[in-house]
Structure 1
Amino acid sequence: MRQFTAVVNPAAGRSSGTAALLPLARLLREAGAGLETRYSRSLDHARELAREAGERGDAVLAVGGDGMAGCVGGALSGTGAVFGLVPAGRGNDFARALGLPTDPDALARVLLDGEARPVDTIEVDSAAHGRESVLGSVYAGVDAVANRHANESRVLRGAASYYAGGLRAVAAWRPASYRITVDGVLHERRGYTVVAANSGYYGFGRQIAPGARLDDGTLDVVVIHHAPKRLFFAMMNELKTGAHLRRPQVEVLRGKEIRIEAERPLPYGADGEVDGQLPVTVRVQPGALRVLC
């Protein structure tokens, strides 16, 4: 029987994180599993708690949204530890890519009986932050600005915060000139964003890269070229189904190592958190994380 350590997002903390964990904890303990719950003080503290639990041989549960999943999963990447996810955030896009259920009974069965499947992670390398690992995607441009607005929202929640943040970001956006180097080949483009995707989803269920797979050892690089803003707003709706890929303004490249640069300071984000400014280099780490799914 598995021993679990649940690391709870400091933002989710005593509200949504606890609400998601309590019924699941009861089911795990009734089945005979051990469970220790740790509330992190920060994302750095969450990484520390995750590594300590993994070194003890516990299966480590990230309780929160995509930022928490990326934080805990990234800390365990390459360690051999077992990672589990309890979706309790706004987007939950990595859980969506894994096909995880939200029903406590179904999720408990996955965590108790599911196999630890190897999935890829992303190494992110930047001058400001050094090297760290994340799970879903790294995005540089208008979507990073939109995500910052969504995270700062105190009124709107869920999909509404992402949509409002997107509208605000696009309205103020100026086209950016990018230099995108994919496995040593340079592509110069002008547009809205560059997304290096391990998972197909980001931004609350938007299918930015429908062809991305978590275990294929490759990243899908989605480039949205310059277009009139009215067309970009239409594309925001098409992201729900992946229909944006049919537009000539959308290009998909694929590779294992991607460097993204721009002619002006631009933010990049990863797994729902805005981490820094370009340039950034990302590399796929094949099969680096063992995930219960």
Structure 2
Amino acid sequence: MNALLIVNPTSGASLNSNLLPDLLEVFKSQNLEIEIEQTTPEDDGQQIAAKASTNGVQLVIVAGGDGTIEAVVRAIANTQITLGIIPLGTRNNLAASFNIPNNFHQAVRIIKEGQISSIDLGKVDGYYFLEVVGIGLEASLFPCGEDVKEAAKKNAFAPIGSIFSGLKTFFAFHPHRLTLRLDGKLKYHPRTLQVNICNSPRYGAEIFLAPHAKMDDGKLDVIYMNRSSKLDHLRHLFSAMRGQPFEHELLRTYQASKIEIESYLPLEVHADGIYIGQTPITIEVAPKALQVLLPTPKLLAEFADQAGSNMREDNN
């Protein structure tokens, strides 16, 4: 099979200079022949993948984090290209949603022996996303989060200004009246701080906002709190970050294949952490739009046995 490996050299685990040679040795041991391209500040992987698509590449493997995977997917969505994943990022939310372990030896086994499955993508005003769309407070806070990450690269005190900016945004933000139309039929008029449309069970800082979301059911999960306080909102967020269920009379969850959202005042919108504009917006599921290599039940059982053996060895 004609295969391309796209490596993000700045992903969390990729910062280890010995990783790429080790990774190539694993591919060699599995008798997998691949070409290699690396992302750059000018190309996050989308252009590389788009070129591969026109050159007849059948398998694109991403060695990186969620952002790199999402960039590549935007180029290969609704094509015959199959995606392979080697999780090297900080969070690896997508790999976790797909049951792909962080151990890259096992991830390469999945590429060699896994099963090709078709999964859904989300689409908002022509823009594909894998994880989530956020409308309102979350989208307004995302630039502050990016500023914190960039400032942290300079020194330990540099992020302080960005943190204060984020706090100012949080306390100044007020609930807004929205109109949600689901599948062209059901209509809701919540007053809320934010609405999330989830395709995957978790996103961001390992936030399990839609723990029961499935990426192959032809539906997107709609989550918001109606007329909630900021304290309720924070409690919901912290519960989701811990992966704990959150029961609250103001919490609303729905499923739909098409969601139309309007607001009296324009609200900012992000898709997988990238600012894409303001309301009004239309979000739709793109069913079976991506082919991805996933572990078989046999491989999952084998990996579980290996983890159990390693744990027993550590305890001895």
Q: In 2, are the aligned partners of 1:75 and 1:133 still within 8 Å (CA)?
A: no
> Cα 1:250–1:18, aligned 2, differ >3 Å: closer, same or farther?
farther
Distance 1:43 1:135 in 2: 22
Q: State the Cα deviation string for residues 124-172 of structure 1 (Å, max 9, x = none).
A: 21xxxxx122212211122223332222213559xxx9xx699735333
Distance 1:274 1:200 in 2: 21
1:69 matches 2:64: no
Aligned length: 281
Task: State the match for 1:282 in structure 2.
Answer: 283
Q: In 2, are the aligned partners of 1:218 and 1:256 still within 8 Å (CA)?
A: yes
Q: State the Cα deviation string for residues 187-216 of structure 1 (Å, max 9, x = none).
A: 111112111111011122111111210100
Task: State the match for 1:196 in structure 2.
Answer: 197
**TM alignment of 1:190-269, pairs within 5 A:** 190-239=191-240, 240-244=242-246, 246-269=247-270
Distance 1:81 1:165 in 2: 44
Distance 2:12 2:45 in 1: 12
Task: State the match for 2:306 in structure 1.
Answer: none
Identity of aligned residues (%): 26
Distance 1:42 1:3 in 2: 26
**TM alignment of 1:31-110, pairs within 5 A:** 31-41=30-40, 46-55=45-54, 56-110=56-110
Normalising to structure 1: TM-score of the pair?
0.85
> Cα 1:183–1:110, aligned 2, differ >3 Å: closer, same or farther?
same
Q: In 2, are the aligned partners of 1:138 and 1:197 still within 8 Å (CA)?
A: yes
Distance 2:264 2:212 in 1: 29
Query: 1:133 is matched by which residue type in structure 2?
Result: Y
Question: The residue matched to 2:3 in structure 1 has which SS?
Answer: strand
> Cα 1:46–1:189, aligned 2, differ >3 Å: closer, same or farther?
same
Task: State the match for 1:30 in structure 2.
Answer: 29
Larger gyration radius, structure 1 or structure 2: 2
Question: The residue matched to 1:121 in structure 2 has which SS?
Answer: strand
Q: In 2, are the aligned partners of 1:209 and 1:220 still within 8 Å (CA)?
A: yes
Distance 2:11 2:41 in 1: 11
Distance 2:209 2:12 in 1: 29
**TM alignment of 1:9-24, pairs within 5 A:** 9=8, 12=11, 16=15, 21-24=20-23
Question: The residue matched to 1:57 in structure 2 has which SS?
Answer: coil
Q: What is the aligned counterpart of 1:141 among 123, 132, 136?
A: 136
Q: State the Cα deviation string for residues 214-233 of structure 1 (Å, max 9, x = none).
A: 10011111112232222222
Distance 2:19 2:278 in 1: 34
Task: State the match for 2:272 in structure 1.
Answer: 271
Query: 1:206 is matched by which residue type in structure 2?
Result: I
> Cα 1:236–1:121, aligned 2, differ >3 Å: closer, same or farther?
same
> Cα 1:36–1:123, aligned 2, differ >3 Å: closer, same or farther?
same
**TM alignment of 1:109-120, pairs within 5 A:** 109-120=109-120
Unaligned runs of 5+ in 2: 154-158, 295-316
Moved more, 109-118 or 25-34: 25-34
Higher strand share: 1
Unaligned runs of 5+ in 1: 126-130
Distance 2:220 2:100 in 1: 22
Q: In 2, are the aligned partners of 1:146 and 1:166 still within 8 Å (CA)?
A: no
Compute the displacement of 1:268 (Å). 1.3
Q: In 2, are the aligned partners of 1:147 and 1:165 still within 8 Å (CA)?
A: no
Q: In 2, are the aligned partners of 1:7 and 1:39 still within 8 Å (CA)?
A: yes
Distance 1:238 1:266 in 2: 25
Task: State the match for 1:128 in structure 2.
Answer: none
Compute the displacement of 1:3 (Å). 4.0
Question: The residue matched to 2:26 in structure 1 has which SS?
Answer: helix
Q: In 2, are the aligned partners of 1:260 and 1:281 still within 8 Å (CA)?
A: yes
> Cα 1:77–1:19, aligned 2, differ >3 Å: closer, same or farther?
farther
1:150 matches 2:157: no
Task: State the match for 2:311 in structure 1.
Answer: none
